[in-house]
Amino acid sequence: MPKDAGPQAKTNPGRFFEDYTVGDVIQHAVPRTVSGGERALYHALYPARHALYSSDEFARASGLPESPLDDLAAFHIVFGKSVPDVSLNAVANLGYAEARWLRPVYVGDTIRSSSEVIGLKQNSSGKTGVVYVRTTGRNQHGLAVMEFARWVMVRKRDLDAPAPETVVPELAPSVKPEKLVMPGGIDFSAYDFVQAGEPHRLSDYQVGEVIDHVDGVTIEEAEHMMATRLWQNTSKTHFDATPREDRKRLIYGGHVMSMARALSFNGLANAQCLVAINGGSHTNPCFAGDTVRAWSEVLEIAETPAPGVGAIRLRLVAVKEGGMAGQLKGEDGKYLPHVLLDLDYWALMPV
Amino acid sequence: MPKDAGPQAKTNPGRFFEDYTVGDVIQHAVPRTVSGGERALYHALYPARHALYSSDEFARASGLPESPLDDLAAFHIVFGKSVPDVSLNAVANLGYAEARWLRPVYVGDTIRSSSEVIGLKQNSSGKTGVVYVRTTGRNQHGLAVMEFARWVMVRKRDLDAPAPETVVPELAPSVKPEKLVMPGGIDFSAYDFVQAGEPHRLSDYQVGEVIDHVDGVTIEEAEHMMATRLWQNTSKTHFDATPREDRKRLIYGGHVMSMARALSFNGLANAQCLVAINGGSHTNPCFAGDTVRAWSEVLEIAETPAPGVGAIRLRLVAVKEGGMAGQLKGEDGKYLPHVLLDLDYWALMPV
Amino acid sequence: MPKDAGPQAKTNPGRFFEDYTVGDVIQHAVPRTVSGGERALYHALYPARHALYSSDEFARASGLPESPLDDLAAFHIVFGKSVPDVSLNAVANLGYAEARWLRPVYVGDTIRSSSEVIGLKQNSSGKTGVVYVRTTGRNQHGLAVMEFARWVMVRKRDLDAPAPETVVPELAPSVKPEKLVMPGGIDFSAYDFVQAGEPHRLSDYQVGEVIDHVDGVTIEEAEHMMATRLWQNTSKTHFDATPREDRKRLIYGGHVMSMARALSFNGLANAQCLVAINGGSHTNPCFAGDTVRAWSEVLEIAETPAPGVGAIRLRLVAVKEGGMAGQLKGEDGKYLPHVLLDLDYWALMPV
């Protein structure tokens, strides 16, 4: 590279809309070996208390070899690797679908991540386009630990670049219960409700039931930055205070997701394993100083082939001050200004 | 549970005064496996430098299999589990007594916790009562790692509920030296004072001696919340800024305890193992922005059966700005406004 | 020690200029065993992404037994131990030279540290003097993991103490390439540029080339204090807000070093192992709220005996807001006010 290439010639400018081709598979950089350190940090950054992810003994009594890394931590690691290749020049993170956890991540595992481009659609403005990818995380044995589709709006570098053929993938509105993958060996036949923290089993929940998780956590800049760095997510917007006059940094949507999920322990302590995300929207930005609360709505209940294990489909909503349990959208059909996250997921629960 | 039970029907409302019965044993939820991550976080959150808790080599030279988790971290884990069952509706944390460490906690151990109700006394107002519990932490082998008595003032749910028979347990004003439990194998015969950081052995300390630990640490919101979450302590008051106009969160008393103990390294580097807490009071609240300093007073000196190991009983006082070494109470007999913590404990030291 | 010795009699006052003698070797206190926790915290505190330090698989493919602790973390641990003996009464940290990493630090290693006094020079004021030390970190096998020379200006306790004979050590302006020590087994013949994150090999870089690392991170008090405590660095100035009216704490220079090195991934992702620091200056203080960016200049390129491994000598410059890539000093020859760090180091890169 010639010396006069300029001081940014070696750095990663990220991909622009015209750099994606349907069918391309992008190998994301920087594999990551997880240790007890990642687990402890997750438990320091979020009020995470689900027993299966806290105690090796509880995990063994549930048929697993030891306590896995929290499922959303696995998601953040797989997702974070995709940021430099998928969303560095993104204008908006539009949605998730068909996310499934396929295998627990244990201490000592090394995770890598890749994304296949599964759809492209240039916007009518000609300045941006929507890129659909299916991202897969794999462990050191090459076995998939999770996969998800997401779509983002990405800028074009060259506004004159021709529009690609429009390909919009068909994505399921929700993961069918029969497609949920059970963590190998999982068995809730001898589930200890006392150690887990709540007496409610799957049959205690009803479709339509709304649960207010009550507790609130006020977020600090240091915390969300530590979390986001831990997942090696490089998006500048989470770290650099200079673009905004109030010096606030936009909080990684996954931080809100993990905070809300951890808060949902109070009322959903037995919703142990995340097995799928059906869809999710980061509906309003979150900033340091916001106090995050959460509420859930039971959407669906299903059987699974694992002994003593049922599946519960939940809407998890994170709100900031002003938000109320059960209130999601206004009369105009738009999300209320206090709603930060609307996440639709499947979890496993003792029947 | 019927759907119209309301959105908080599934959440834990905590126990009220009339929910306790003397003799009841409450199993606290969410066992916890500790890793090197908890150790590293403890050393990032507090200026902890006691060599036995920093170096496997130093621990082995002292007769232990490896370096244990810092004793106060073990205390916080056992204590944190009891919060949802004991102090969620507490008005005040009134005191500790008869706390003893019974066995070190090592990386890989899984800790659970239970509390026996040992006393009840309704207050004359009829609105609250004092609950006395003895809390025990156990490892995965069912062996006790620590125990302590504490008493808290708890609200009544139903002011018309009848007062229980008053039972006030007899609690020792201090743990007798012969009741101190030595960590198995501990031996300070070949103690390395250079690596430990100070030359002072037990015989260098005199009863009545006051030690000013000099250094100060200004506390941040992110730090005390990370610490408190790490111990899975769910008390809302430490996390939710919304109830107070100044948006400050009340700092968990145990955070101040750990900070003061870590600061006491400077002058008490050889007070290695905590073996008992005789009593303790959180005398004034601590908030982010406060600069914490500490001083100690030597209260008692005793022999132990372990080779080369003596016991030193110390008063550890944490103060914020304005506090001075040796100044504890005013002429009115009340704690000075700058005093945050008055802790009376036993530690092990080379003779 | 008599009771009337005063409350600070047991605490460490630090060494003053007249307490040093050329040839003395000071054993620093508090050995430290590192775990996955230290690694995870490093990756939460800095946007560190170099693959060799993130993935056991990548490390094994590069000839190492597993992923080592980040090299600057090893430096901070060795350095931190020397603070109570070398720089507690320092007025200024004047420089580094001849720093070499001699052996990677792996999880489970226990690090201790010692310093030899290699030079002394009283200043003409008679109030301070310069102390030169060579500090060595060793693992549990007694094998050196790193060494460096540094010199600090230290206060005299007694202004009437006689000046020592002046001894100024000869320190190399830079470590010669043939003196660089390769991590045992290192081999970049099968280097995976995709997983490492960038395609640039050593031959793609030219002496004189300037790289703007683009990204910025705004620093928080909680983060730099957690980092500095993790290295058991006890310098009061990083923790105690009370001496300054703006309540800011001076950030440990090593925090800026690690931040800049991590940011340099973007453009230098393949500069994997640090093997030497030729010199370094903390040119302006850094405070919470500053947004740190970094740029590098290629100073020299060299061969090494390890297969597929070359050495690149880099100037790494950290700047705060107002700093620009390539701008280091003003017309007066002094560092610009926005320059925080000027570090000259050697790293290993695939040829």
- pLDDT category of residue B294 using cuts at 50, 70 and 90: very high
Q: What is the pLDDT of residues A308-325, one digit of tens each?
A: 999 999 999 999 999 999
* Phi, psi of C120, rounded to the nearest 5 degrees: -150, 140
With a cut of 50, which residues of chain C have pLDDT below it? 1-3
Which residue ranges make up each domain of chain B? Answer: 13-34+69-171, 174-351
**Residue of C52, C57, C255 best to disrupt the A interface, most CBs of A under 10 A:** C57
How many Å apart are CA B282 and CA B343, to the nearest integer?
A: 8
**Residue of A105, A140, A229 best to disrupt the C interface, most CBs of C under 10 A:** A229
Cα–Cα nearest to C101, from C186, C206, C209, C196 = C186
Cα–Cα nearest to C73, from C242, C238, C273, C220 = C273
Q: Report the CATH architecture of B174-351.
A: Roll (3.10)
> Which chain C residue's Cα is nearest to A230?
C44
Q: What is the pLDDT of residues B95-149, one digit of tens each?
A: 999 999 999 999 999 999 999 999 999 999 999 999 999 999 999 999 999 999 9
Contact C16, B40 (CB under 8 A): no
E strand residue ranges, chain B: 25-27, 32-33, 90-101, 110-122, 128-138, 144-155, 210-212, 217-218, 273-282, 291-303, 309-319, 339-350
The pLDDT of A28-40, averaged and rounded, is 97
CATH no., domain C15-34+69-171: 3.10.129.10
C173-351 matches C15-34+69-171 in CATH topology: yes
Domain A13-34+69-171 has CATH 3.10.129.10: yes
Q: What is the pLDDT of residues A197-249, one digit of tens each?
A: 999 999 999 999 999 999 999 999 999 999 999 999 988 899 999 999 999 99
- pLDDT category of residue A1 using cuts at 50, 70 and 90: very low
**Residue of A38, A204, A223 best to disrupt the B interface, most CBs of B under 10 A:** A223
How many Å apart are CA A200 and CA B113, to the nearest integer?
A: 21
How many Å apart are CA B236 and CA C86, to the nearest integer?
A: 44
The pLDDT of A107-127, averaged and rounded, is 97
The pLDDT of A278-286, averaged and rounded, is 96
Which of A54, A223, A291 minimises the CB distance to B242? A291
User: What residues of B are in the A interface, CB distance below 8 Å?
Assistant: 1, 3, 7-12, 27, 29-33, 35-38, 40-41, 84, 107-108, 110, 112, 140, 220-223, 225-227, 229-230, 232, 234, 236, 239-242, 247, 249
pLDDT, greater one: A229 or A88: A229
User: What residues of C are in the B interface, CB distance below 8 Å?
Assistant: 1-3, 7-12, 27, 29-33, 35-38, 40-41, 84, 107-108, 110, 112, 140, 220-223, 225-227, 229-230, 232, 234, 236, 239-242, 247, 249
Name the CATH topology of C173-351: Thiol Ester Dehydrase; Chain A (3.10.129)
Contact A148, A133 (CB under 8 A): no
Taking the CA of residue B233 and the nearest CA in chain A, the distance in Å comes to: 8
How many Å apart are CA C326 and CA C338, to the nearest integer?
A: 12
- pLDDT category of residue B94 using cuts at 50, 70 and 90: confident
Which of A37, A140, A247 minimises the CB distance to C35? A37
The C-alpha angle with vertex B164 and arms to B161 and B167, in degrees rounded to 5, equals 155
Taking the CA of residue A120 and the nearest CA in chain B, the distance in Å comes to: 41
**Which helix (H) or strand (E) covers residue A38, if one does?**
helix A36-45
| Mean pLDDT over each residue of chain B, to the nearest integer | 96
pLDDT for position A20: 97
pLDDT for position A324: 92
pLDDT for position A4: 56
* Percent share of chain A, pLDDT over 70: 99
Contact B27 A291 (CB under 8 A): no
- pLDDT category of residue B4 using cuts at 50, 70 and 90: low
Cα–Cα nearest to A104, from A193, A188, A191, A185 = A185
pLDDT for position C6: 84
> Which chain B residue's Cα is nearest to C26?
B194
The pLDDT of B29-41, averaged and rounded, is 97
pLDDT for position A93: 84
Using a CB-CB cut-off of 8 Å, the residues of chain B touching C107 are 36
